[in-house]
Structure 1
Amino acid sequence: MYVVSESEQRTTRTPSGSMFALAAPSQGSTEISTWRVEIGADSATPVHVIDREQVWMPLSGEFEIEVEGRTGQARTGQAVILPAGAVRRLKAVGGPAEALVAMAVGGKAMLPGSEDRIPLPWAE
Protein backbone atom coordinates (compact mmCIF):
# COMPACT_ATOMS: atom_id res chain seq x y z
CA MET A 1 0.00 0.00 0.00
CA TYR A 2 1.15 3.51 -0.83
CA VAL A 3 -0.30 6.71 0.60
CA VAL A 4 0.58 9.67 -1.62
CA SER A 5 0.18 13.29 -0.56
CA GLU A 6 0.29 16.36 -2.74
CA SER A 7 3.58 18.23 -2.57
CA GLU A 8 4.97 21.41 -4.07
CA GLN A 9 7.70 19.35 -5.80
CA ARG A 10 5.04 17.38 -7.69
CA THR A 11 2.84 20.37 -8.56
CA THR A 12 2.86 21.95 -12.02
CA ARG A 13 1.50 25.48 -12.37
CA THR A 14 0.50 27.04 -15.71
CA PRO A 15 -1.18 30.36 -16.55
CA SER A 16 -4.59 28.65 -16.61
CA GLY A 17 -4.29 26.29 -13.65
CA SER A 18 -2.40 23.87 -11.46
CA MET A 19 -1.95 20.10 -11.57
CA PHE A 20 -1.26 18.34 -8.26
CA ALA A 21 0.28 14.91 -8.91
CA LEU A 22 -1.02 11.98 -6.90
CA ALA A 23 -0.76 8.37 -8.15
CA ALA A 24 1.80 7.82 -10.93
CA PRO A 25 4.62 5.42 -11.78
CA SER A 26 7.07 7.62 -9.85
CA GLN A 27 4.80 7.27 -6.81
CA GLY A 28 4.34 3.48 -6.95
CA SER A 29 1.34 3.15 -9.30
CA THR A 30 1.95 0.79 -12.20
CA GLU A 31 -1.31 1.15 -14.14
CA ILE A 32 -3.12 4.41 -13.30
CA SER A 33 -2.10 8.05 -12.97
CA THR A 34 -4.28 10.46 -11.01
CA TRP A 35 -3.98 14.15 -10.29
CA ARG A 36 -6.06 17.03 -8.99
CA VAL A 37 -6.57 19.99 -11.32
CA GLU A 38 -7.50 23.54 -10.35
CA ILE A 39 -8.49 25.88 -13.18
CA GLY A 40 -8.98 29.58 -12.45
CA ALA A 41 -12.26 31.40 -13.09
CA ASP A 42 -12.94 31.69 -16.82
CA SER A 43 -9.54 30.12 -17.59
CA ALA A 44 -9.13 27.21 -19.98
CA THR A 45 -6.66 24.55 -20.94
CA PRO A 46 -5.01 24.95 -24.32
CA VAL A 47 -6.60 23.04 -27.18
CA HIS A 48 -4.77 19.72 -27.06
CA VAL A 49 -4.90 15.95 -27.57
CA ILE A 50 -4.08 13.21 -25.03
CA ASP A 51 -3.17 9.77 -26.36
CA ARG A 52 -4.93 7.95 -23.48
CA GLU A 53 -8.53 7.95 -22.33
CA GLN A 54 -9.07 10.25 -19.34
CA VAL A 55 -11.83 10.45 -16.76
CA TRP A 56 -12.44 13.91 -15.25
CA MET A 57 -14.44 14.00 -12.01
CA PRO A 58 -15.36 17.56 -10.98
CA LEU A 59 -14.90 18.25 -7.26
CA SER A 60 -16.08 21.87 -7.28
CA GLY A 61 -17.23 24.49 -9.76
CA GLU A 62 -18.36 23.82 -13.30
CA PHE A 63 -16.44 22.86 -16.43
CA GLU A 64 -17.27 23.54 -20.05
CA ILE A 65 -15.77 20.71 -22.08
CA GLU A 66 -15.25 20.90 -25.82
CA VAL A 67 -14.35 17.60 -27.51
CA GLU A 68 -14.05 17.31 -31.27
CA GLY A 69 -16.21 20.43 -31.73
CA ARG A 70 -18.99 19.29 -29.37
CA THR A 71 -19.52 21.22 -26.12
CA GLY A 72 -20.95 20.01 -22.82
CA GLN A 73 -20.83 20.94 -19.15
CA ALA A 74 -20.00 18.97 -16.01
CA ARG A 75 -20.11 19.67 -12.29
CA THR A 76 -19.71 17.86 -8.96
CA GLY A 77 -21.34 14.44 -8.96
CA GLN A 78 -20.61 13.80 -12.63
CA ALA A 79 -17.76 12.19 -14.57
CA VAL A 80 -16.57 13.09 -18.05
CA ILE A 81 -14.91 10.40 -20.17
CA LEU A 82 -12.58 11.92 -22.75
CA PRO A 83 -11.54 9.47 -25.48
CA ALA A 84 -7.91 8.96 -26.42
CA GLY A 85 -6.84 11.02 -29.42
CA ALA A 86 -9.72 13.51 -29.20
CA VAL A 87 -9.06 17.23 -29.61
CA ARG A 88 -10.21 18.84 -26.36
CA ARG A 89 -10.36 22.00 -24.27
CA LEU A 90 -11.69 22.40 -20.73
CA LYS A 91 -12.76 25.70 -19.23
CA ALA A 92 -13.89 26.75 -15.74
CA VAL A 93 -17.16 28.68 -16.00
CA GLY A 94 -18.74 30.96 -13.41
CA GLY A 95 -15.73 30.76 -11.09
CA PRO A 96 -12.80 28.47 -10.41
CA ALA A 97 -13.23 24.72 -10.88
CA GLU A 98 -11.45 21.68 -9.52
CA ALA A 99 -11.40 18.05 -10.68
CA LEU A 100 -9.74 14.73 -10.03
CA VAL A 101 -8.39 13.20 -13.26
CA ALA A 102 -7.43 9.58 -13.94
CA MET A 103 -5.83 7.87 -16.94
CA ALA A 104 -3.71 4.87 -17.77
CA VAL A 105 0.01 5.46 -17.22
CA GLY A 106 2.17 6.55 -20.11
CA GLY A 107 -0.11 9.22 -21.52
CA LYS A 108 1.34 12.06 -23.57
CA ALA A 109 -0.11 15.34 -24.83
CA MET A 110 0.04 16.66 -28.38
CA LEU A 111 -1.03 19.81 -30.12
CA PRO A 112 -3.61 19.22 -32.87
CA GLY A 113 -1.85 18.42 -36.14
CA SER A 114 1.49 17.69 -34.45
CA GLU A 115 3.16 14.33 -33.90
CA ASP A 116 5.35 15.68 -31.07
CA ARG A 117 4.40 13.90 -27.82
CA ILE A 118 4.75 16.02 -24.70
CA PRO A 119 5.25 14.23 -21.36
CA LEU A 120 2.82 15.08 -18.55
CA PRO A 121 5.04 15.55 -15.47
CA TRP A 122 2.10 15.11 -13.07
CA ALA A 123 1.35 11.67 -14.57
CA GLU A 124 4.87 10.22 -14.64
Structure 2
Amino acid sequence: MPFIRSTEAQVHEIHGVRFFGYANPASGSKEICAWRGEIPADTAGVAHTITKEEILYLLDGRLRFTLDGEQAELVAGDVLLANPGSTLRVDNESDEPARIWTTTSIGLEAVMADGSRFAPPWAN
Protein backbone atom coordinates (compact mmCIF):
# COMPACT_ATOMS: atom_id res chain seq x y z
CA MET A 1 0.00 0.00 0.00
CA PRO A 2 1.64 3.30 -1.05
CA PHE A 3 -0.22 5.46 1.50
CA ILE A 4 0.41 4.83 5.18
CA ARG A 5 -1.54 6.86 7.71
CA SER A 6 0.01 7.77 11.05
CA THR A 7 -2.65 5.64 12.74
CA GLU A 8 -1.45 2.60 10.77
CA ALA A 9 2.13 2.64 12.08
CA GLN A 10 3.25 -0.55 13.80
CA VAL A 11 4.23 0.41 17.35
CA HIS A 12 6.95 -1.42 19.29
CA GLU A 13 8.75 -0.60 22.53
CA ILE A 14 12.22 -1.67 23.61
CA HIS A 15 14.67 -0.20 26.13
CA GLY A 16 12.10 2.48 27.00
CA VAL A 17 11.92 3.81 23.42
CA ARG A 18 8.81 3.62 21.24
CA PHE A 19 9.30 2.80 17.56
CA PHE A 20 6.61 3.59 14.98
CA GLY A 21 7.24 1.49 11.87
CA TYR A 22 5.95 2.97 8.63
CA ALA A 23 7.90 1.45 5.73
CA ASN A 24 8.95 -2.21 5.93
CA PRO A 25 7.98 -5.47 4.22
CA ALA A 26 4.74 -5.69 6.25
CA SER A 27 3.62 -2.34 4.80
CA GLY A 28 4.71 -3.20 1.25
CA SER A 29 8.24 -1.78 1.07
CA LYS A 30 10.62 -3.84 -1.07
CA GLU A 31 14.02 -2.32 -0.14
CA ILE A 32 13.84 0.45 2.46
CA CYS A 33 12.56 0.73 6.01
CA ALA A 34 11.62 3.93 7.80
CA TRP A 35 10.40 4.59 11.31
CA ARG A 36 9.97 7.26 13.92
CA GLY A 37 11.47 6.80 17.35
CA GLU A 38 10.25 8.57 20.46
CA ILE A 39 12.91 8.76 23.16
CA PRO A 40 11.71 9.94 26.58
CA ALA A 41 13.68 12.42 28.65
CA ASP A 42 16.56 11.00 30.70
CA THR A 43 16.77 7.78 28.68
CA ALA A 44 20.09 5.96 28.51
CA GLY A 45 20.69 4.18 25.22
CA VAL A 46 22.10 0.72 24.61
CA ALA A 47 25.20 0.37 22.44
CA HIS A 48 24.78 -1.95 19.47
CA THR A 49 26.55 -2.65 16.20
CA ILE A 50 24.41 -2.20 13.09
CA THR A 51 24.51 -4.49 10.07
CA LYS A 52 23.06 -2.01 7.54
CA GLU A 53 23.60 1.69 6.92
CA GLU A 54 21.25 3.95 8.88
CA ILE A 55 20.40 7.59 8.33
CA LEU A 56 18.98 9.24 11.45
CA TYR A 57 17.27 12.65 11.23
CA LEU A 58 16.42 14.41 14.49
CA LEU A 59 12.86 15.73 14.23
CA ASP A 60 12.83 17.52 17.59
CA GLY A 61 14.63 17.57 20.88
CA ARG A 62 18.30 17.03 21.60
CA LEU A 63 20.17 13.70 21.64
CA ARG A 64 23.71 12.55 22.33
CA PHE A 65 24.97 10.10 19.72
CA THR A 66 28.01 7.91 20.19
CA LEU A 67 29.26 6.38 16.95
CA ASP A 68 32.37 4.19 17.17
CA GLY A 69 33.43 6.03 20.32
CA GLU A 70 32.97 9.55 18.90
CA GLN A 71 30.27 11.63 20.61
CA ALA A 72 28.15 14.46 19.28
CA GLU A 73 25.07 16.23 20.54
CA LEU A 74 22.56 16.80 17.76
CA VAL A 75 19.46 18.98 17.68
CA ALA A 76 16.38 19.15 15.46
CA GLY A 77 17.34 19.20 11.79
CA ASP A 78 20.69 17.45 12.29
CA VAL A 79 21.52 14.10 10.66
CA LEU A 80 23.72 11.17 11.61
CA LEU A 81 25.06 8.81 8.93
CA ALA A 82 25.97 5.43 10.42
CA ASN A 83 27.71 2.90 8.19
CA PRO A 84 27.31 -0.89 8.48
CA GLY A 85 29.54 -2.29 11.19
CA SER A 86 29.37 0.92 13.24
CA THR A 87 28.65 0.77 16.94
CA LEU A 88 25.88 3.20 17.82
CA ARG A 89 24.37 4.48 21.05
CA VAL A 90 21.68 7.15 21.41
CA ASP A 91 21.08 8.87 24.76
CA ASN A 92 18.54 11.50 25.69
CA GLU A 93 20.24 13.31 28.56
CA SER A 94 17.81 16.24 28.45
CA ASP A 95 14.62 16.79 30.41
CA GLU A 96 12.55 16.84 27.20
CA PRO A 97 11.51 13.96 24.94
CA ALA A 98 13.03 13.70 21.45
CA ARG A 99 11.79 12.27 18.17
CA ILE A 100 13.93 10.86 15.41
CA TRP A 101 13.26 9.55 11.88
CA THR A 102 15.42 6.66 10.71
CA THR A 103 15.82 4.98 7.33
CA THR A 104 17.75 1.83 6.48
CA SER A 105 17.67 -1.23 4.24
CA ILE A 106 15.40 -4.17 4.94
CA GLY A 107 17.15 -6.79 7.03
CA LEU A 108 18.85 -4.54 9.60
CA GLU A 109 20.09 -6.34 12.69
CA ALA A 110 21.58 -4.98 15.89
CA VAL A 111 24.44 -6.96 17.40
CA MET A 112 24.47 -6.39 21.14
CA ALA A 113 27.58 -6.20 23.35
CA ASP A 114 27.07 -9.83 24.46
CA GLY A 115 27.03 -11.00 20.82
CA SER A 116 23.28 -11.61 20.67
CA ARG A 117 21.48 -10.40 17.56
CA PHE A 118 18.22 -8.49 17.39
CA ALA A 119 16.21 -8.12 14.16
CA PRO A 120 13.89 -5.16 14.87
CA PRO A 121 10.38 -5.92 13.54
CA TRP A 122 10.08 -2.33 12.28
CA ALA A 123 13.04 -2.99 9.93
CA ASN A 124 12.31 -6.55 8.79
Q: TM-score, normalised by structure 1?
A: 0.90
- Structure 1 runs of 4+ aligned residues shifted over 4 Å read none
Range moving further from structure 2, 92-101 or 18-27: 92-101
CA contact (8 A) 2:57 2:101 kept: yes
Equivalent residue number for residue 98 of structure 1: 99
Residues 25-53 of structure 1: per-residue CA shift (max 9 Å, x gap): 11111111000000010203211111001
Equivalent residue number for residue 109 of structure 1: 110
Equivalent residue number for residue 43 of structure 2: 43
Distance 1:45 1:77, change over 3 A: same
Give the gaps of 5 or more residues in structure 2: none
How many residues were matched structurally? 123
Give the drift of 1:83. 1.4
Give the drift of 1:6. 3.8
Give the drift of 1:113. 5.4
What is the rounded CA distance, in whole Å, between the counterparts of 1:105 and 1:8 in structure 2? 19
RMSD between aligned residues: 1.8
Matched letter for residue 68 of structure 2: E
CA contact (8 A) 1:57 1:80 kept: yes
Give the drift of 1:112. 2.8
Equivalent residue number for residue 24 of structure 2: 24
Q: TM-score, normalised by structure 2?
A: 0.90
Distance 1:87 1:122, change over 3 A: same
Residue 26 of structure 2 aligns to a residue whose secondary structure is: helix
Distance 1:110 1:44, change over 3 A: same
Equivalent residue number for residue 79 of structure 1: 79
